[in-house]
Chain A
Amino acid sequence: MSDRWCVTRNGVAVALRDVPDLSLDVMSADVVAAVSAGARLGCWSGDGEGRIVAVLVDDAAGELRVARARVGDRYPSLTPSCPQAHLFERELAEQFGPVAVGHPWFKPVRSHARWTPGPDAWGRAADMPIVPGVVETFRVEGEDVHEVAVGPVHAGVIEPGHFRFQCHGEQVFHLEIQLGYQHRGIERAAVGGPHPQTLHQMEAAAGDTTVGHTWAHCLVLEALADVAPPPVAQDLRATMLELERLANHVGDLGALAGDVGFQPTASFNGRLRGDFLNLTAALCGSRLGRGMLRPGGVRFGADEARRRDMTHRLHAARRDVTGSVELLFHTPSVAARFERVGIVRPEEATAAGLVGVARRACGTAVDARHDHPVGAWLQTRVDPAICGEGDVQSRAWVRWLEICDSLELVDRLLARPLDGELRVPMPSLRPDHLAIGLIEGWRGPVLHLGLTGPDGRLTRYKVVDPSFHNWMGLALALRDEQISDFPLCNKSFNLSYCGYDL
């Protein structure tokens, strides 16, 4: 990778004058070279001032590299030589207008009007209403080929999204996913902030990842303000993050069991998920972890009696989860439905830039807690849990390995003193700086990027939920599968709509 780029680390701010302004050709070529050498494109977004800010995540070196470049109304698309840029380029066009010439499937992401004045990337007039979901979709033609359209509202308590399947009988040739229904303007609203409501919006970027997003947000603000939360707060944040992982992974294994009609684990885990949510509430009063993480630290500590009570409940839940999940994995009819279904091959996962559980299920050992540690992860080593087949079974198994690890981690964290100094005051943010926060949430890495202007206010705030990278993985997993396996494959990814739509 080129040494033209500014090298930084997770949660370490850099002055904007140290971030090089490259020519777009050079920056694009560097991205292609770095990604083919194993880095991941973490961000390729407009800064609101006519530039693209690019972040390369180098997991092996534990480094983040940043550069920027001016962009006009049109530029040669990066996607043909770097497929993981596909969605970033569409997002950039929708938010700020630059057309990625040569992008193979150039369409809007979230169905909203351009943020800044100027021509629309798709030539739509400024007063033209934007109707969500009314976009071109890929179509397979030929005799007996048919199209199945599902959503935005689905048959269950699920978020909205539109799915188009191109099928031949049961067989799916192609699945196209069109989201944007949950778009509520989080990134746009953060500009000029942080505002009083910004923190609450970050807590609600994706409710099931409240801790992951809020921690990433706090990390960015703390880096920009140059403060470090007290060690106890770091341990409490880690405890919260692992409880969030436990609740979601346990819930997901139950939902997967439900999708193959294996009722015992579906029922047990539905209840056990609640036990982990309740442990989160025991710390902070909210089952989703709302109101706990605050820039500068955390709100609530845990004295010995509380830690003892929580440990006791953790052990009881561990017993029941182990029994329930062993039952799932020891049942041959479940294995028959999980194995060799919804396969994503490792080279596809790399090309598409998949992250988190879905990536580890293709055999790649990446985990931000291990590769880019902050806070408690600096002392507590976490090894990535991997499994190599890329199918539903692998994604389920990675979750189980992580459940075991998180149970152990929470047990150890609860043995440490968790009260005392919880928070340090937050000074104002340093002007003209940039910082990146990267937290391994339960789905995968949550990346937040903040830039400040001369007045120390945010000029741009970017949120990248792991789902942003991984929806493509679901589309790939469905290729040549039966359409009846869609619910199972979908659940094995369990991606966020609101985290993607923002």
Chain B
Amino acid sequence: MKVALFERLSQGHQTSRYPAVLPALPDRLRGRPTVDAAKCPPQCRVCVDACGVQAIALDPMTERPNPRVDLGKCLFCGDCEEACPTAALRFGPEHRLATSRREHLTVQQGHEYALAEQLGAELMRLYGRSLKLRVVSAGGCNGCEVDVNVLGTIGWDLGRFGISYAASPRHADGMLVCGPVTRNMELAVRKTWQAIPDPKICIAVGACAIAGGPFAGHPEQLGGAAAVVPVDLFVPGCPPHPLTILDGLLRLLGKVRG
């Protein structure tokens, strides 16, 4: 007869000690990319052509190429890194990616990346210690949901930061959207947003919810949550690593800085 208590002891304590200790991340993780434009050969546009979702652009004004990566569109697939002949464009281990504004999701040499800011004083007073989110899945691949969900497991234990997922919009302080917002989900997203009492926040998780992801341009979808509601936090990735999502949430609540 198996005894639950013994199994519990054998499994041990498994909750990550983050944010005190950064958990080990896979060495091949594709986090925030870096661009070393000094290595870019003149006239080169290999990375631009390698990208399947047009996330990389070159400024027409500059003499030498200085690729600009839009992390809102980026799927972090690494196809550009693989194609780059001089290793000028590389994905690094940096997991901190979430921003407060869409236009801050830009990586380019000479451009400082502005991470998400803490909520304003009134919202901090209300939600700084307890934030309940209604999660709406709106037309992605369910991949972002996987990593949103995982934060609720014992490995991350989201509850210890005062954040939890609410079963009704009436009980929520904000909405977390995954997916590009399909035409078929537009009404449901609007109604969910309306049903959440004011003041409220909206968090867009994943490339889909930021800019349509791999489905950008399809007439069946609207190109992200911001087409329907105002967004307060953008978490890039396809899907973002759970730590990237958590980092974004904690930045919003002023629980991690730097």
Which positions in A face B, CB cutoff 8 Å?
Answer: 110-112, 131-132, 152-153, 155-160, 180-186, 188-189, 195-201, 203-208, 210, 264, 267-268, 270-271, 273-274, 277-278, 281-288, 290-291, 299-300, 320, 323-324, 326-327, 330-331, 496-498
Given A155-B167, A204-B143, does the pair A270, B184 have CB atoms closer than 8 Å? no
Per-position binary interface string of chain B over residues 105-149, scored 1 when its CB falls under 8 Å from any chain A CB and 0 otherwise: 000000000000000000000000000001111111111111111
B188, A152: Cβ atoms closer than 8 Å: yes
For residue B213, CB closer than 8 A to chain A, the reply is yes
Chain B residues contacting A158 (CB-CB under 8 Å) are 137, 145
Given A157-B148, A281-B29, A324-B11, does the pair A204, B140 have CB atoms closer than 8 Å? yes
In the complex, chain B residues 128-185 whose Cβ is within 8 Å of any chain A Cβ: 134-150, 152-155, 165, 167-168, 179-180, 182-185
Add 18 more A-B contacts to A181-B139, A200-B52, A203-B141 (CB < 8 A).
A153-B136, A153-B137, A159-B142, A160-B185, A181-B184, A181-B185, A182-B184, A185-B219, A204-B213, A208-B146, A210-B141, A278-B26, A285-B91, A287-B147, A291-B77, A291-B79, A320-B11, A496-B142
A299, B78: Cβ atoms closer than 8 Å: yes
For residue B103, CB closer than 8 A to chain A, the reply is no
Q: How many A-B residue pairs have CB under 8 A?
A: 197
Q: How far is the CA of A287 from the CA of B25 in the complex (A)?
A: 11
Interface residue stretch chosen among B1-9, B58-66, B94-102, B228-236:
B1-9
A-B contact pairs, 16 of them (CB 8 A): A152-B188, A156-B167, A159-B142, A183-B220, A196-B52, A207-B146, A264-B4, A270-B150, A270-B155, A274-B150, A287-B241, A290-B75, A320-B11, A323-B11, A497-B142, A498-B140
Q: How far is the CA of A189 from the CA of B219 in the complex (A)?
A: 10
A274, B2: Cβ atoms closer than 8 Å: no
For residue B238, CB closer than 8 A to chain A, the reply is yes
Given A184-B139, A327-B2, does the pair A270, B153 have CB atoms closer than 8 Å? yes
B141, A206: Cβ atoms closer than 8 Å: yes
**Is the contact region of chain A dominated by helix, strand, or loop, or is it mixed?**
loop
Per-position binary interface string of chain B over residues 188-204, scored 1 when its CB falls under 8 Å from any chain A CB and 0 otherwise: 10001000000000000
Chain A residues contacting B68 (CB-CB under 8 Å) are none
A181, B188: Cβ atoms closer than 8 Å: yes
Chain B residues contacting A290 (CB-CB under 8 Å) are 75-77, 143, 238
A271, B14: Cβ atoms closer than 8 Å: yes
Q: Determine how close the nearest CB of chain B comes to the CB of A218; give it in whole angstroms.
A: 15
A291, B168: Cβ atoms closer than 8 Å: no
Which positions in B face A, CB cutoff 8 Å?
Answer: 1-2, 4, 7-8, 10-11, 14, 26-30, 51-53, 75-79, 82, 91, 134-150, 152-155, 165, 167-168, 179-180, 182-185, 187-188, 192, 213-216, 218-221, 238-239, 241
In the complex, the chain B residue whose C-beta lies closest to that of A210 is B143
A291, B78: Cβ atoms closer than 8 Å: yes
Q: Which 10 residue pairs spanning A and B have beta carbons closest together?
A: A207-B143, A285-B28, A270-B153, A155-B167, A207-B141, A204-B141, A196-B52, A132-B184, A185-B220, A200-B214
Chain A residues contacting B168 (CB-CB under 8 Å) are 155
Q: Determine how close the nearest CB of chain B comes to the CB of A320; give it in whole angstroms.
A: 6
Chain A residues contacting B29 (CB-CB under 8 Å) are 281, 285
B78, A185: Cβ atoms closer than 8 Å: no
Given A158-B145, A200-B53, A282-B26, does the pair A183, B139 have CB atoms closer than 8 Å? yes
Chain B residues contacting A320 (CB-CB under 8 Å) are 10-11
Q: How far is the CA of A189 from the CA of B27 in the complex (A)?
A: 34
Q: How far is the CA of A281 from the CA of B53 in the complex (A)?
A: 22
Q: Determine how close the nearest CB of chain B comes to the CB of A413; give it in whole angstroms.
A: 18
Q: How far is the CA of A195 from the CA of B218 in the complex (A)?
A: 13
Q: How far is the CA of A270 from the CA of B90 in the complex (A)?
A: 33
A291, B142: Cβ atoms closer than 8 Å: no
Q: How far is the CA of A274 from the CA of B157 in the complex (A)?
A: 13
Q: How far is the CA of A196 from the CA of B77 in the complex (A)?
A: 13
Given A207-B143, A267-B153, does the pair A182, B182 have CB atoms closer than 8 Å? yes
A270, B145: Cβ atoms closer than 8 Å: no
Q: Determine how close the nearest CB of chain A comes to the CB of B29; give it in whole angstroms.
A: 5
B135, A157: Cβ atoms closer than 8 Å: yes
Q: Determine how close the nearest CB of chain B comes to the CB of A310; give it in whole angstroms.
A: 11
In the complex, the chain A residue whose C-beta lies closest to that of B212 is A184
Contact of A159 among B75, B145, B153, B180 (CB under 8 A): B145
B137, A157: Cβ atoms closer than 8 Å: yes
B153, A271: Cβ atoms closer than 8 Å: yes
Contact of B220 among A184, A204, A496 (CB under 8 A): A184
Chain A residues contacting B51 (CB-CB under 8 Å) are 196
Q: Determine how close the nearest CB of chain B comes to the CB of A151; give it in whole angstroms.
A: 9
Interface centre among B134, B141, B184, B213 (most CB of A within 10 A): B141
Contact of A207 among B2, B53, B140 (CB under 8 A): B140
